Structure 1
Amino acid sequence: MNAILTLNSGSSSIKFSVYDQADEPEELIDGEVENLGPAARLLLKSKPAQTIEIGAADHTAALSAILKAVKPLLAGRQVVGVGHRIVHGGVEFKDPTILTDGVLQRLAALVPLAPLHQPHNLAGVAAAKAAFPDAVQIGCFDTAFHNGHPWVNDTFALPRHFYDEGVRRYGFHGLSYDYITGKLQQDWPDLPKCKTVIAHLGNGASMCAVQEGKSVGSTMGFSALDGLPMGTRCGQLDPGVLLYLMDKGLSAPEITSILYRESGLKGLSGMTHDMRTLLKSDAPEARQAIDYYVFRIRRELGAMTAVLGGIDALVFCGGIGENAVEIRARVLEGMGYLGLSVDPQANARNETIIGRDKALVLVIPTDEERVIARAVNHLT
């Protein structure tokens, strides 16, 4: 029997799954390493569920723990393909791609565009090649779903040669948007033809305007910093702030660390990037961080609606979008002018449909790993 392994390295966690290879891959093992840092833990969510305390772990140590845990659970299955979430595919990579040495070199050149993700994505490829040397390694790109944006949503008002050099709005979280769009087509076949905004709210966060199954606008741009505030990333920022920091004598690595690792919910609260902790806190700084987070989601919801010329459906996904009842309620408060409302009881129960006014409001758990598994299945 053959199996497919998927690795999805995020900024603060690594999700993984093992699938039986079939026409529609069947998930056998599901888990993640969460809280990367001083107190990481490995969660095996498949029955029987297990929690393994790892302790201090970076992405490399977490990948080792995952591979060590997975191998005994394969039950004689041979891993024939490993699928990797690769955050940045640049202009070149528009489809799932076999990760040859040459491809990996070209992807490594994109590390400056996604320094919080791309190095860990590529480290996962190296670890998987060592653990499963006979398996095909396949990259699936977060930027691919947004390829083909209208030009006005793809460019910056800079001298044109920068666009030709690749300085453009790529958009991210494409695997999540791909899954949600497919799920809408399956369960609500009329919605993919409509004007839909998908809010992927997690430690990384963005929103996407989708029409007829295609991305026509995204809150993220050239890098995974733009748009919404995130766990440790700043979101939209006046570029004059960067000039100010440079004038203060901060180096590029110092500015990078501030923008990617010290900002967002963590920076505003002075406490943590974890929304669960912030929602439980009575500290005024925690409430202010949440207030700003909600404000920016509401602002970008208006922007994505303007891109679409209206809205027929809003979908929440991602760890915060799927679980944070208060955040969803606050985002939707007073949004009747867009035809959006929330049923408090349905919202509190995390039901799939939490609002049904002129526009539909849905909560749909995303499944990036299944998108990756399908791609591996197709290429092996």
Structure 2
Amino acid sequence: MNEQVVATFNVGSSSIKLAAYSRARGGGLGPRLLRAELSGLPDAPRLSARAGNTGTESAFLAGADISDLELSALAPRLIRAIETALDQPLAAAGHRVVQGGQHNHASRKATPELIAELGGLCALAPDHQPFNLAAVRAVSAARPDLPQTLSFDTAFHRSQPRIAQIYALPRALTDAGMLRYGYHGLSYAHIARHLPERFPGHRQQRTLALHLGSGSSLCAILDGRSIATSMGFSALSGVPMATRSGDIDPGLLLYLMSEQQMSAGDVSQMLRRQSGLLGVSGISGDLRQLEAAGTAEADEAIALFIYRIVRDCGSHIAALGGMDALVFTGGVGENSARVRTGIASGLAWAGTEIDEDANRHHGPELSPPGSRVGVFVLPADEESEIARDCLALL
């Protein structure tokens, strides 16, 4: 092989997603050569991989040393395993960084100064940002010659009008960066880029995209640009998620701290780890387990999840001035026919209808022929957006 190859890192607290892409002959993004995931971190690590040929897949799995899960050791070893499997050195590594702050409206090359700036934003995404940056630092320490690029989940939403980004707070706080940043931007950028390619016969000017997974959010996309999104200052906000609460009355939080004597740390732990589907069901934050459980509590958790999403959809449809397309993505959006049916039923007033046979088979097109609103399932692919950014910056 002699094409230019880049690797992508999507690092979280419980998983690391990797991919490798080549540059196309005419420039830009070429074929994906390898995709891998290290899941079950930190207690039950499991490495899986897929590649265009079994030799590459086998070589990667054989060469990936995951005996030490500290990112300082693990990230460089994963890079070496990719290079060995592909039999050539990488030209660069691209990383997903959840929070880019006020001023990063596009991907950037990694520098020590930028990494230090982004480190100050860890409190806004404590389950993501520290791990994102730790991987960048680890690669930089082990391979200082390897260029690295950063793709920000918040960047896609910087196209929103100012009125959609600010809170009704004192202006000094707004000026200090207390804004509605929005997240899952790489996933929404992928939808905005690929929906017209996949379904060219449908109107898509006003697209409502639902990224539903362990983290969930909505995005109103007008002419390919974000104009509103459900997540705000932090990745805790918006609709309920697997273990995150979503939006909650700030007065309730003040009450818990003043009257129930909960510390800020206790409240943070509750909102991030003990709420959402897990909190309501008392069983799990995994929607697959709740659908299989069939208990009243599990059913209530699923019903609340759907209800809150439908309500938020109404807000986003209002921001769009109507809806031409509804897109499901993310682990739940791609795989739960029950959730899709519930949401589509709740949005029947907006012209949404789905074919249940297509829904049982997970699409990709769910709406019957001639429907006023096209309804689609489009698999999430943040890695290709990271690789595209990386190649563009090289």
Please give the range of the TM-score, normalised by the shorter of the 2 chains.
over 0.9
Counterparts in 2 of 1:208-247, with a 5 A limit?
208-247=219-258
CA–CA distance in structure 2, aligned partners of residues 98 and 191 of structure 1: 37
CA 1:112–1:334: 2 relative to 1, 3 Å: closer
Q: Deviations over 1:208-254 (max 9, x none)?
A: 00111111110000111111111221111111121012112222222
CA–CA distance in structure 2, aligned partners of residues 71 and 35 of structure 1: 24
Percentage of identical aligned residues: 40
- 2:41 is aligned with 1:40: no
Q: Deviations over 1:31-54 (max 9, x none)?
A: 112233422311112243678997
Q: What does residue 361 of structure 2 align with?
A: 349
Answer with 215-224 or 35-44: which moved more: 35-44
Answer with 320-329 or 21-30: which moved more: 21-30
CA–CA distance in structure 2, aligned partners of residues 286 and 36 of structure 1: 26
Aligned length: 379
Q: What does residue 315 of structure 1 align with?
A: 327
Partner of 2:392: helix, strand, or coil? Answer: helix
Counterparts in 2 of 1:325-344, with a 5 A limit?
325-344=337-356
* Residue segments in structure 1 that go unaligned for 5+ positions in a row: none
Q: What does residue 132 of structure 2 align with?
A: 121
Quote how far apart the aligned CAs of 1:137 are: 0.9
Answer with 180-189 or 228-237: which moved more: 180-189
CA 1:102–1:265: 2 relative to 1, 3 Å: same
CA–CA distance in structure 2, aligned partners of residues 102 and 224 of structure 1: 24
- 2:95 is aligned with 1:84: yes
Q: What does residue 17 of structure 1 align with?
A: 19
Partner of 1:333: helix, strand, or coil? Answer: helix
CA contact (8 A) 2:306 2:343 kept: yes
CA–CA distance in structure 2, aligned partners of residues 256 and 65 of structure 1: 33
CA–CA distance in structure 2, aligned partners of residues 71 and 189 of structure 1: 37
CA 1:18–1:181: 2 relative to 1, 3 Å: same
Aligned counterpart for 1:299 among listed residues 288, 308, 311: 311
The residue type equivalent to 2:308 in the other structure is R
Answer with 33-42 or 142-151: which moved more: 33-42
The structure whose residues are more often strand, as a share, is: 1
Q: What does residue 134 of structure 1 align with?
A: 145
Partner of 2:218: helix, strand, or coil? Answer: strand
The residue type equivalent to 1:28 in the other structure is L
CA 1:302–1:65: 2 relative to 1, 3 Å: farther
- 2:313 is aligned with 1:277: no
Quote how far apart the aligned CAs of 1:285 are: 2.2
Q: CA RMSD in A?
A: 2.3
Counterparts in 2 of 1:175-214, with a 5 A limit?
175-189=186-200, 194-214=205-225
- 2:251 is aligned with 1:249: no
CA 1:104–1:315: 2 relative to 1, 3 Å: same
The residue type equivalent to 2:113 in the other structure is G
Q: What does residue 28 of structure 1 align with?
A: 33
Quote how far apart the aligned CAs of 1:7 are: 0.5
Quote how far apart the aligned CAs of 1:68 are: 6.2
CA 1:285–1:58: 2 relative to 1, 3 Å: farther
CA contact (8 A) 1:36 1:58 kept: no
CA–CA distance in structure 2, aligned partners of residues 68 and 267 of structure 1: 41
CA contact (8 A) 1:12 1:203 kept: no
Answer with 77-86 or 252-261: which moved more: 252-261
- 2:111 is aligned with 1:97: no
Quote how far apart the aligned CAs of 1:270 are: 2.0
TM-score (norm 1): 0.93
- 2:300 is aligned with 1:288: yes
CA 1:127–1:250: 2 relative to 1, 3 Å: same
Partner of 1:217: helix, strand, or coil? Answer: strand
Quote how far apart the aligned CAs of 1:57 are: 6.0
Quote how far apart the aligned CAs of 1:322 are: 0.9
Quote how far apart the aligned CAs of 1:192 are: 7.5
